[in-house]
Amino acid sequence: MKARPITTVKTVVTAIEKAGEGIKLFTLADPDNWELPPFKPGAHIDLHLPNGLVRTYSLCNEPADNARYLIAVKREADGRGGSRALHDEVAVGDVIGVSLPRGGLDPGAPIARYVFVAGGIGVTPFLSMARHLERAGEADYALHLIVREEVPLAAHLGALIEAGRVVVHRTSRTGRPDLAALVGEAGSETLVACCGPGGMTDDFERVTAAWPAANVHIERFVAPPPVIDPDAKPFTLSLARSGTEIQVRAGQTMLAALQEGGIDVATSCCGGICGACKVGWIEGRPVHRDRILSPYERERYLMVCVAGSDAERLVLDL
Ligand code: FES
């Protein structure tokens, strides 16, 4: 019998530090001080919060520093509750389950130049990437940080700002910078990435629309509204490993149908932007709708929270 793969790791909060207006930096470590599962620069983890919420955050430390996971969280009073729970209810010594890290920069990619564009707290994945690139010293990079006035994680970015690696654009003084000018010309050895509020990521997507998809990476804070397909038809999900068949009603998400069928799938954003619900597909014609998978990944994976099917039967690697 196959062993069930490990999907979550028990961590303990070992430090909480104020890192700017409304921002806290949480350090999570193994309770027995073992190294944590490895991760790529700027990878994400899902936190299983004590109140039952699951929320996704970028790691801001670098892969070489994997005795801990560092996440920076801005308290969003009107958010979905994850940041409020972390700020108001989580203390040093609390135990938090986290997913295995996923995503992040591929250190083996043939990239000679990186341009990162961050809005406010969206700087967190790029802090990890910058730290990694500084250490590796193999590729050139620039990190443009767009803020209204105050720099988040200032104590952690100070040296990089002084070295000219991080350029701070304060919109209260100079207005919004021209994103097209920041990213420059498309090139096969250049990767451009953006993480920030919706308006910024939408502009970035427009500016880089003609770039090769593999050279553009966008991370969103908030999932776009769900796509309602008026022509959606019911279909059958066939689960290859268990041999189970599950019916998906017209307009129902695969995720809801799987959950109704008693199949446990990890979720966080439920809007196709975080990657938590990624499942392999084997046969069929998925309609993807997510905002995270690359064209290459879509040949093998889909996000069950948003994907649909263009055929009557879709076989999943579940
Ligand atoms: S739960 Fe986030 S992509 Fe599906």
Domain spans in the chain, listed from the N-terminal domain onward: 8-99, 113-220, 235-316
Is 302:224 a contact under the CB 8 Å cutoff? no
| CA dihedral over 268, 276, 294, 300, signed as positive or negative | negative
Atom of ligand 1 nearest to the CA of 270: 1
Tens-digit pLDDT string for the chain (318 aa): 445 566 789 999 999 999 999 999 999 999 999 999 999 999 999 999 988 899 999 999 999 999 999 999 999 998 888 999 999 999 999 999 999 999 999 888 899 999 999 999 999 999 999 999 999 988 999 999 999 999 999 999 999 999 999 999 999 999 999 999 999 999 899 999 999 999 999 999 999 999 998 899 999 988 887 777 888 899 999 999 999 999 999 999 999 999 999 999 989 999 999 999 999 999 999 999 999 898 889 999 999 999 999 999 999 999
Determine whether domain 8-99 maps to CATH 3.30.450.20.
Answer: no
Cα 70 from Cα 35, distance rounded (Å): 13
Ligand 1 pocket mutation, candidates 219, 270, 288, 297, criterion most atoms within 8 A of CB: 270
Is 153:25 a contact under the CB 8 Å cutoff? yes
The C-alpha angle 68, 79, 302, rounded to 5 degrees, equals 70
Task: Report the CATH architecture of 113-220.
Answer: 3-Layer(aba) Sandwich (3.40)
Rounded to two decimals, the pTM is 0.89
Burial class (CB in 10 A: 0-12, 13-18, 19+), 80: middle
Is 194:218 a contact under the CB 8 Å cutoff? yes
Is 19:5 a contact under the CB 8 Å cutoff? no
Closest CA to 96 of 77, 71, 74: 71
**What is the Å distance from ligand 1's center to 173 Cα?**
37
Q: Is the CB of 276 under 6 A from ligand 1?
A: yes
Per CATH, the number for 235-316 is: 3.10.20.30
- Closest C-alpha residue for ligand 1 atom 3: 272
Q: Is the CB of 269 under 6 A from ligand 1?
A: yes
